[in-house]
Structure 1
Amino acid sequence: MTQQQPLGKPSIGRRGLVALWCELRLIGPSLLALAALHGKLAQQEWAQEKARLLQLLLASLLGFACLLITLLLGCALVVTLSWQTSYRIHALLGLLLGHGLAVALAWWRVRKLLARGSMSFAASRNELAADIALLKSKL
């Protein structure tokens, strides 16, 4: 008389464990190589992210400096308006306009760099998702 396994609970016997062990021995080096590649990819993306953050910092500092200059020139404009010269307003308005454009350019650059932040480590995330999907399909 033979015993039957209950449905839904397959038994992994000694033979199944040996086969699993053999498969793991075969794919082990490949998994290690894959992990090394993921490490290199993450390292490359981290370098790119650091460069982006540095550019963001520099653009923010430039924008802040231009904003301070614009405020100082605005105060100088108020002082100058009290004097009686014919070109005082035109000169200071030109300076204010120039610094205002610099602030606008720095603000545009900061927004552009912040928008690229969502792309950080995109390649690593895509590769990991593909590897997980592949492993799930094989198991």
Structure 2
Amino acid sequence: MDKLKEKLSRLMYGRYGIDQLGNFMMWAAVAMMIFGAVVRSSLIYTLALVLIVWADVRIMSKNHSKRYAENQKFLELKNRVVGFFRGGTRAFKDKEHCYFRCPSCHQQVRVPKGKGHIEIRCPKCGTKFIKNT
């Protein structure tokens, strides 16, 4: 078992590995395979296999800069889609900051998390607006 682990470790040395895009591609391929089997579509099943091969090529790639750029584009698209469904003017939060959009220019403003009402001045247009954090 240790020999197999060493061989796999040597094989993966210098490779890009799995990232968010690769993980998404694998899960999408699994979903496509299940859907293709249910509707008995060989086209969907074949597309799922192509997606798995493409994900494996990305994982085994040694071109880190290109794979990183692809992943960044995917994350940007994902954030746009998630932001669209969350609502553009609503505030969304992480553990340390609150993010708001200026009602005038729609510039995103990040403020430290606090309690109660806060007055925010947009750095782009200077508009003041009050929000709860």
Structure with greater contact order relative to length (CA < 8 Å, sep ≥ 6): 1
TM-score by length of structure 2 reads: 0.31
Tell me which protein shows more helix as a share of its residues: 1
Larger Rg: 1
| Structure-1-length-normalised TM-score | 0.30
